[in-house]
Chains A and B, each alone.
Chain A
Amino acid sequence: MASSEIAVSVDQVVKRYGSVTALHGVSLDIRENEFFTLLGPSGCGKTTLLRAIAGFEDVTEGHIRLKGQDLIDQPPFKRPVNTVFQQYALFPHMSVTENVMFGLLRKSWSRQEAERRAQDVLELVQLSDFAKRKPGQLSGGQQQRVALARALAPRPEVLLLDEPLSALDLKLRQAVRMELKAIQRETGIAFIFVTHDQEEALTMSDRIAVMSAGHVQQVGSPREIYETPVNRFVADFIGETNLLDVQVLSVTGGVAQVLMPGNRNFKCPAAAVVNAGPGHLSVRPERISVCAEAAGDLSATVTGHTYLGTDIQLHVKLVDGEAMSVRLQNAETTLMPETGAVVGLSLEAGAARLLAD
């Protein structure tokens, strides 16, 4: 399969604005035919990196290669990549078709061929009926699809998407996710998708790079990122987690012996960089079950419940005062402890993960 070939290689890219460093030597390989997401909070450098790939930002140091060819000295209009902008930036004085044809005509396609290609792409995004309208006459969701069609029309080597769903309302966003993923599969183009929305990233991506403060924290499949986060930031940023302060007694072969709050022993997988001493144990709320007080890995007092529909969130407090949350399925068979009850919490050993700071 060709998907292991590298489409874009980001090599030790540094970006400084005066005394502020936005990217600290970022290196990433984006494979061909891959839906790759740059995920992180605002200000983490993800958009800067995307703009550097598009050519709108000069990089201070490092290289960006597209299929082995260095892009750094190429102006944006010579790079075979196209962008879907956050606010779409559709040309308001041109019709939908003219917008989609714009890139093709600049690449010296004939009008006839460009028109045919525009029709095909508009069909792909299901907008054939709106071809003659002006962008101002379209809804937000339709504009988003025109922007996608316009960027896909010139058959770019890589498609860059800068938070393209953030201007849509929630319902629409969820529908568009699946559509976007389907279009990516159909076209076979590598997508580099920037978002701060972890749910978006988890549902669409083949791989995710979690970024924070100009560093890439972890690269991996959604499952790897969620289930085996390498550090506190990733564990905390992706989904919900409980971070417990524990004492690490020993680490051998990736397995750690730790002393839990309440002085019970626990064995769990450790991220590679953990040493003996104080550490953090990350446990997802849905990987904890309630049991008899003496049988648990932890002893806790129930402080309240939150009803979430499919789940019920149990708020508990440990002996050392630390708060935790536990997700229990909302089913008749689930035993639901009352507020004030003292219970045992049993952690799935494989799902709990010991992390460095």
Chain B
Amino acid sequence: MAGKTDLRRFPGFLTVTTLCLFVLYAPLIVVAVYSFNASTSITNWGGMSLTWYVDVFIGPEAPKFQRAALNSMIIAVCASVIATVVATLAAVAMTRAGRFRGKTLSFALINLPLMVPEVVTAVASLVFFSAIGFTTGLTTILIAHTVFCIPFAYLPISARMQSIPDTYEQAAMDLYASPREAFRLVLLPLMTPGILSGFLLAFIISLDDFLITNFVKGAGIETLPTAIFGSVKQGIKPNIMAISTLMLVVSVIFVSLSWLVGRMGQDKKKNN
């Protein structure tokens, strides 16, 4: 690897890398560190303390954040479950139905939401809901989240699906399994790592979403990101940093899980 093309020998490699890492992670580190600040100031360090974490759970704003967190959880669980089911069906259809008319179009339709600017989706969702006379609330958030979670769930599931040769199902059917049994007993277990990975990804995307949620949520309904945004508008208090840090931890855990599950599937495949 230490040939002439070794990237580390390029001029400025170290500077660029350091700069990128700094821009990416310095804000997160500042927030994480200052969430442990004893002082009410967000700039001066007043010593190490867990005050703001305690405040998040039992402080004056605690009920508001708890309700928002509960909403976020409900929406994230429901939206990612539904999105995962839809994405799984889509992945099976796309990789097993052979060539059908409109296959390219279907592929584009599944993945297009990834490329549409989020604010466009947000406005469109709002317009759509009011056009069909939906009152905005938890349901509208749930529907919107389900929709934009589908392409995220689809990516790892379809990647996994493409690595499963169809001879497994043929072997199952050769051994007297009906197509339904072949799916349930052979294909589904083999797809599981991809499905789990897709679910976790969809879950975290839903949990973190602010923009679309903010457009389609009804009055008085908050999710954690919109609640945080609402508090910040009245000035940044250190409890926000504590909440943000907690959310960061949850996100990191889920993304790591998603990655680990995906890798587990790959290792399994290598052994065969």
Contacts and interface: CB of A to CB of B under 8 A. Distances in A.
Interface stretch (A20-28, A99-107, A225-233, A329-337): A99-107
Contact of B176 (A87, A91, A107, A137): A107
Specify which of B165, B174, B185, B269 lies most central, judged by the most chain A CB atoms within 10 Å of its CB.
B174
Given A89-B168, A89-B170, A93-B190, A82 B175 contact: yes
Interface string A62-105: 00000000000001111001110101011111000000001100
Given A87-B165, A87-B167, A92-B268, A77 B186 contact: no
Contacts of A154: 175-176
Contact of B174 (A82, A90, A107): A82
B171 A106 contact: no
B173 A76 contact: yes
Which interface class (under 10, 10 to 19, 20 to 34, 35 or more) fits A? Answer: 20 to 34
B85 interface: no
Contact of A91 (B168, B173, B178, B271): B168
Interface string B153-178: 00000000000010110111111111
A106 B186 contact: no
B63 interface: no
Interface residues of B, dominant DSSP = helix
Nearest to A76: B173
A90 B271 CA distance: 12
Nearest to B174: A83
B272 interface: yes
Interface residues of B, number: 23
Interface in A131-155: 134-137, 150-151, 154
Contacts of A91: 168, 171-172, 186
B170 A150 contact: no
A81 B175 CA distance: 8
A122 interface: no
Contacts of B271: 92, 134, 136-137
Interface string B169-209: 01111111111011001100110000000000000000000
A304 B268 CA distance: 54
A124 B172 CA distance: 22
Given A103-B176, A106-B181, A154-B176, A85 B170 contact: yes
Among the interface residues B168, B178, B269, which one has the most CB atoms of the partner chain A within 10 A?
B168
A54 B170 CA distance: 10
Contacts of A150: 175
Interface in A194-216: none
Contacts of A89: 165, 167-168, 170-171
B187 to A, nearest CB: 10
B177 A135 contact: no
Contacts of B171: 83, 85, 89-91
Nearest to B171: A89
Interface string B258-272: 000000000011011
A77 B165 contact: no
Interface centre among B167, B176, B185 (most CB of A within 10 A): B176
A11 to B, nearest CB: 22
A85 B182 CA distance: 16
Contacts of A75: 173
Contacts of A55: 173-174
Contacts of B190: 92-93
A146 to B, nearest CB: 12
A209 to B, nearest CB: 22
A102 B173 contact: no
Nearest to A103: B175
Interface centre among A54, A75, A103 (most CB of B within 10 A): A103
A91 B272 CA distance: 10
A56 B194 CA distance: 27
A64 to B, nearest CB: 15
Contacts of B172: 91, 102
A48 B47 CA distance: 76
A56 B175 contact: no
A85 B167 contact: yes
A82 B173 CA distance: 10
A135 B168 CA distance: 13
B55 to A, nearest CB: 48
A56 B181 CA distance: 17
10 smallest CB-CB distances across A and B, nearest first, come from: A103-B175, A136-B271, A106-B176, A89-B171, A89-B167, A77-B173, A76-B173, A136-B272, A92-B272, A93-B189
28 contacts: A55-B174, A75-B173, A77-B174, A77-B175, A77-B179, A77-B182, A78-B176, A81-B174, A82-B174, A83-B171, A83-B174, A85-B170, A85-B171, A87-B165, A89-B165, A89-B167, A89-B170, A90-B171, A91-B168, A92-B268, A92-B272, A93-B190, A107-B176, A136-B268, A136-B271, A137-B271, A150-B175, A151-B174
Interface of B: 165, 167-168, 170-179, 181-182, 185-186, 189-190, 268-269, 271-272
Given A77-B178, A82-B174, A89-B167, 14 more contacts: A75-B173, A77-B173, A87-B165, A89-B171, A90-B171, A102-B185, A103-B174, A106-B175, A106-B177, A106-B181, A135-B272, A150-B175, A151-B175, A154-B176
